């Protein structure tokens, strides 16, 4: 494990928090507070890699579960690993805790070796699975790919949307990298807010990198989310331009040859792929290739949206895909041996 972890302990028993800090001192820096309302400022100042929260807090309105919900409601802390401690060996409490968004659960009294093993595994799995994009705070490449394969394995058709910003490079060059980052973060915030209005099964949003975003979910949810994303970004992105630029629909800048040009304002283009199943889109590489091809079509469309029903694509031979049945391969080997 890395020796640079930053851990916040939310615990109203100061003596227990100090003993816990002693257990964790070899991992990294540890801070603790008894007040859940102080968490946002402490997180902002300390930039933790893990939060350990006690379920039973001596607080009039907040416990560890409710504090976790608050952490999950903010894009900047949504992906922060949370380990809940509790003396409640009660299935209802445990179910409530996991529904709130905790990543793991440890019963008191705490065994130091067991706790350290839990923390090490939690941090490793969190970084491995989420691979979050630092700029947006959204799940990154590895998480998007994992989500795609999980949905394929359910054998139910689903939809994917691939969105990016139009004319982003000249905007980034002319207006500056800071405004370019602000534009990407605006898309991330809009997607995060839209994601919060749906269940995980209905909508997953991720940041592939740069100005590229992936959405996975049901056909109706993807369709309505894309409409709202385009509409809201069109309104809120006007802050990046002067009143004259916003009114005219373009801004002036220099191209790569140094010639003065008029560039259109930022917009979003999205390719929507409907009816995805393993026999049409068998792997993540195929998905990205099909999505990229159809996003080019979207950029030429008046609405900047292009829909494709992948059932129009040819059925893929699954012999060499992730979902090939193990016994099929075994039978093939047996036939080859008999032929010999």
Cα–Cα nearest to 324, from 160, 146, 152: 152
Gyration radius of the chain's alpha carbons: 24
Cα–Cα nearest to 74, from 41, 104, 103: 41
Q: Where in the chain is the domain with CATH 3.30.70.270?
A: 141-320
Q: Where in the chain is the domain with CATH 3.40.50.2300?
A: 5-130
Domain 141-320: assigned CATH number = 3.30.70.270
The Cα 193–Cα 200 span in angstroms is 13
Fold of 5-130: Rossmann fold (3.40.50)
- Structural contact between residues 144 and 203, judged by C-beta atoms closer than 8 angstroms: no
In tens digits, what is the pLDDT along the chain, a chain of 340 residues?
444 789 999 998 889 999 999 999 888 899 999 888 888 889 888 989 899 999 988 888 888 888 888 887 776 677 789 999 988 888 888 888 888 888 899 998 889 999 999 998 888 777 655 555 667 878 888 789 888 998 998 889 999 999 999 989 889 988 999 999 999 999 999 999 999 888 878 999 999 989 999 999 999 999 999 999 999 999 999 999 999 999 999 998 877 677 788 999 999 999 999 999 998 999 999 999 999 999 999 999 999 999 999 998 877 654 444 344 334 333 333 333 344 4
């Amino acid at each position: 494990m890395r020796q640079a972890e930053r851990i916040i302990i939310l615990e109203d028993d100061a003596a227990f928090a100090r003993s816990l800090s002693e257990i964790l001192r070899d991992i990294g820096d540890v801070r603790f507070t008894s007040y859940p309302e102080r968490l946002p400022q402490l997180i902002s100042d300390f930039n933790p890699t893990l939060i350990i929260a006690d379920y039973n807090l001596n607080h009039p309105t907040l416990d560890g579960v409710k504090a976790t919900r608050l952490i999950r409601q903010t894009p900047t802390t949504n992906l922060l690993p949370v380990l809940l401690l509790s003396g409640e060996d009660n299935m209802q409490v445990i179910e409530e805790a996991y529904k709130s968004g905790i990543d793991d659960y440890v019963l008191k009294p705490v065994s130091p070796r067991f706790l350290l093993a839990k923390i090490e595994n939690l941090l490793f799995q969190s970084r491995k699975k989420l691979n979050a994009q630092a700029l947006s705070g959204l799940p990154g490449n590895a998480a998007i790919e994992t989500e795609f394969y999980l949905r394929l394995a359910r054998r139910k058709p689903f939809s994917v949307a691939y969105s990016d910003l139009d004319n982003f490079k000249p905007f980034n060059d002319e207006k500056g990298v800071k405004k370019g980052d602000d534009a990407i973060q605006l898309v991330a915030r809009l997607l995060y807010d839209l994601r919060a209005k749906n269940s995980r099964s209905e909508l997953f949003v991720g940041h592939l990198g740069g100005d590229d975003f992936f959405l996975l979910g049901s056909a109706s949810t993807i369709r309505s989310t894309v409409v709202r994303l385009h509409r809201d970004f069109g309104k809120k992105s006007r802050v990046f331009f002067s009143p004259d630029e916003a009114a005219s629909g373009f801004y002036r800048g220099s191209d790569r040859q140094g010639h003065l040009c008029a560039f259109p304002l930022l917009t979003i283009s999205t390719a929507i792929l409907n009816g995805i199943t393993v026999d049409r889109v068998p792997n993540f590489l195929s998905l990205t290739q099909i999505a990229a091809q159809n996003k080019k079509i979207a950029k030429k469309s008046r609405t900047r949206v292009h829909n494709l029903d992948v059932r129009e694509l040819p059925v893929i031979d699954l012999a060499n895909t992730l979902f090939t049945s193990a016994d099929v391969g075994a039978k093939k080997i047996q036939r080859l041996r008999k032929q010999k």
